[in-house]
């Protein structure tokens, strides 16, 4: 018999592209939270953060968005960590705990977007294949009327950040793509440990959510090749280079 969380994950992975999904729930499941009590405990932490941030009354959507950003940075002034955690569960524990470093760009962006959505703000993410010369990067994009505001979660003064505006690599990501990137990152960790089957399972989940994710397609091929499944690997390589 499937658990509630297994059923939620199955529904998430089989959801249609235009179907609304819950970023917080999906991110926690992708982060490896598989105990229902622990899952509910993390959702309660999100509720707690939302209530604490909401105590500062803001009028406009821009003020709300800036208020969330500033609150997070005031609480943890050294919160960004290169190669830090990307898992929402770890990021929540760090943001509310004693640890100064909270997470990497993916972890910080997911946390911000979850909290922004709780305030009914229209946020997405932007993916860059290379930023700051250190590799793939994601950050928040806030939609306000007919304009957008970039929110660079790795800098304490990153609200309305202008450094990425002219970057031709900009690729807009929704909640599905963000959750897919967690699965992809989990797969990469498994790959580095030589756990090929686990890597393949999580690359597959990333691709189910983001079928055009070239890096996940290529990495799936590499993992299959490590297991000697060369013919299968070739098909994934083709998909990743199209």
Q: Are 192 and 166 members of one domain?
A: no
Q: Are 159 and 52 members of one domain?
A: yes
Torsion on CA atoms 64, 66, 72, 75, rounded to nearest 10: -100
What's 78's domain CATH number?
3.10.620
Let me know if residue 189 belongs to a domain.
yes
Q: Are 56 and 110 members of one domain?
A: yes
pLDDT on residue 238: 74
End position of a domain, from candidates 173, 202, 219: 173
Q: Are 104 and 150 members of one domain?
A: yes
Let me know if residue 6 belongs to a domain.
no
* DSSP string covering 13-39: HT--TTS---HHHHHHHHTT---HHHH
pLDDT digits (tens, 9 = 90+) for 26-48: 999 999 999 999 999 999 999 99
What's 193's domain CATH number?
1.25.40.10
Q: Are 69 and 95 members of one domain?
A: yes
pLDDT on residue 106: 98
End position of a domain, from candidates 116, 138, 173: 173
End position of a domain, from candidates 173, 195, 222: 173
The separation between CA 53 and the C-alpha centre of its own chain, rounded to angstroms, equals 21
Let me know if residue 201 belongs to a domain.
yes
Query: Which residue bears the tokens 């290169």?
Result: 82
Let me know if residue 12 belongs to a domain.
no
pLDDT on residue 59: 79
Q: Are 57 and 118 members of one domain?
A: yes
Q: Are 47 and 163 members of one domain?
A: yes
Report the candidate in 38, 67, 74, 43 with the shortest Cα–Cα distance to residue 53: 67
Let me know if residue 134 belongs to a domain.
yes
Report the candidate in 45, 88, 54, 49 with the shortest Cα–Cα distance to residue 175: 88
Query: Which residue bears the tokens 């969330």?
Result: 68
Q: Are 165 and 224 members of one domain?
A: no
Q: Decide if 204 contacts 50 (C-beta within 8 A).
A: no
Let me know if residue 9 belongs to a domain.
no
Angle at 25 between CA 96 and CA 198, to 5 degrees: 100
Let me know if residue 77 belongs to a domain.
yes
Q: Are 85 and 194 members of one domain?
A: no
Q: Are 165 and 47 members of one domain?
A: yes
The pTM assigned to this predicted structure is: 0.95
Structural domains counted in the chain = 2
Could you list the residue range(s) of the whole structural domain that residue 200 is in?
Answer: 179-241
pLDDT digits (tens, 9 = 90+) for 202-215: 999 999 999 999 99
Distance separating alpha carbons of residues 210 and 173, to the nearest angstrom: 10
Residue ranges, the chain, pLDDT below 50: 1
Provide Rg for the chain, Cα atoms.
Answer: 18
Let me know if residue 196 belongs to a domain.
yes
Q: Are 123 and 30 members of one domain?
A: yes
Q: Are 163 and 210 members of one domain?
A: no
pLDDT digits (tens, 9 = 90+) for 58-74: 679 999 999 999 999 99
């Amino acid at each position: 018999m499937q658990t509630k969380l297994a059923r939620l994950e199955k529904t998430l992975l089989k959801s249609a592209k235009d179907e609304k999904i819950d970023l917080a729930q999906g991110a926690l499941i992708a982060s490896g939270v598989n105990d229902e009590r622990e899952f509910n405990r993390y959702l309660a932490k999100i509720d707690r953060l939302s209530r604490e941030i909401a105590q500062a009354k803001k009028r406009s959507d821009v003020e709300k968005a800036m208020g969330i950003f500033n609150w997070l940075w005031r609480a943890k002034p050294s919160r960004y960590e290169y190669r830090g955690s990307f898992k929402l569960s770890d990021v929540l524990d760090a943001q509310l705990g004693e640890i100064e470093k909270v997470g990497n760009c993916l972890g910080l962006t997911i946390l911000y977007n979850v909290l922004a959505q709780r305030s009914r703000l229209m946020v997405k993410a932007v993916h860059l294949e290379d930023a700051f010369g250190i590799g793939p990067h994601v950050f928040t994009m806030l939609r306000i009327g007919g304009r957008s505001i970039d929110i660079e979660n790795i800098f304490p003064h990153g609200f309305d950040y202008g450094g990425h505006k002219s970057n031709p690599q900009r690729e807009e990501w929704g909640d599905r793509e963000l959750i897919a990137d967690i699965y992809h990152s989990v797969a990469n960790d498994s790959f580095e440990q030589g756990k090929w089957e686990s890597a393949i399972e999580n690359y597959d989940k990333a691709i189910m959510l983001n079928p055009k994710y070239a890096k996940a397609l290529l990495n799936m091929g590499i993992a299959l090749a490590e297991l000697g499944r060369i013919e299968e690997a070739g098909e994934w390589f083709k998909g990743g280079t199209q």
